[in-house]
Every structure is written in C-alpha cells, then in structure tokens.
Amino acid sequence: MVSIPRFRAPSPAWNAALVGVIASIPVSTVVNWLPNSEATVGAGMMIFGAFIAGAVAAARSEDSDAAGLCAGFLGGVLELVIFAVTTGTTAAWPPSRVAFFALAGGVVLCLASMFGLGCGRIGGWVVRTVGSRWNLTASMS
C-alpha cells in the first residue's frame, strides 16, 4: 500500500518571510545600482526582506521576530549556496575544507538568522508605531 505524502501549509511566520524575501529582490537590485554599492541578494534578504517580513507579520498580528528570523535564515542559505557555486574548484575538497565549510556555514546561518530577527523586529515596530498613530488620528476626527 502506497501512502500519499501530506503537506501542510507553511506557518504564518514562514508566509511573511517568503513575502518579505520575494519583495526584497527588487529593493536589493535598486540598492546595488547606487555608487560604490556591493550589496548582494542574500544580504538584501537579510536586511530588507526581514524588515518587510516583520512589517507584514505585524500588520497581520503575527510574530514579527519569527518572520524576520525566517527571512534572515533564507538569506543566509542563499549566500551559502552562491558561495559554494562560485568557488569554481573542480577538484574534490579535502575533508578539512569540508569540515571548515560546514562549521563556517553553521555560524553564517546563525548570524544571518539573528540579523534577520533584529531587522524583523524593527519592521514590526515601525508598523505597530505607525499603525497606532493612524488609529489615534482616525479616532480623534
């Protein structure tokens, strides 16, 4: 008997992270056009994507920290994939290099996630602050 795999919908944090990551691609492209800019897509996902994800999550009354953390993680994964693809080595890596890359990759993912958490928290704070001022002025008139 063959069982059909069951897929669950992603959590609200991952939904907001995906929205933020996708929305950050054009923003990262525009920032990269600025003079002396060395912005990468993964870094844009960690900064702008996490900020947007936190804002989207806060607007939906979800956890902006978790959305930013997920967006930062996605940005870190993309940066590691880009690094691994662009190293350009055709020879097999020695075990010491593989171990170092695995350790450094874990550190990069942790730092990217924490950076995304901070940017997501800022995005959520901005939406909650601006939203509370809009509601305050709307209720006064």
- Model confidence over 86-134: pLDDT tens digits? 876 656 677 887 888 889 999 999 999 999 999 999 999 999 998 877 7
pTM beyond 0.85, yes or no: no
Domain that holds residue 76: 12-140
Helices and strands in the chain, H and E counts: 5, 0
Whether residue 1 lies inside any domain: the answer is: no
From residue 57, alpha-carbon distances to 33, 65, 67, 89, 104 in Å are 29, 9, 7, 41, 30
Residue 10 pLDDT > 60: yes
Whether residue 121 lies inside any domain: the answer is: yes
CA within 13 Å, CB half, 2: 1
**Contact by Cβ (8 Å): 28, 41:** yes
Whether residue 122 lies inside any domain: the answer is: yes
Whether residue 4 lies inside any domain: the answer is: no
Whether residue 48 lies inside any domain: the answer is: yes
pLDDT at 138 (0 to 100) = 52
pLDDT at 109 (0 to 100) = 94
Can you tell me the mean pLDDT for 44-73? 94
Whether residue 69 lies inside any domain: the answer is: yes
Q: Is 70 in a helix, a strand, or coil? A: helix
Q: In the structure, what pLDDT confidence band is assigned to residue 137 with cuts at 50, 70 and 90?
A: low
Can you tell me the mean pLDDT for 33-47? 85
**Contact by Cβ (8 Å): 123, 52:** yes
Whether residue 6 lies inside any domain: the answer is: no
pLDDT at 141 (0 to 100) = 52
Whether residue 3 lies inside any domain: the answer is: no
Structural domains of the chain, count? 1
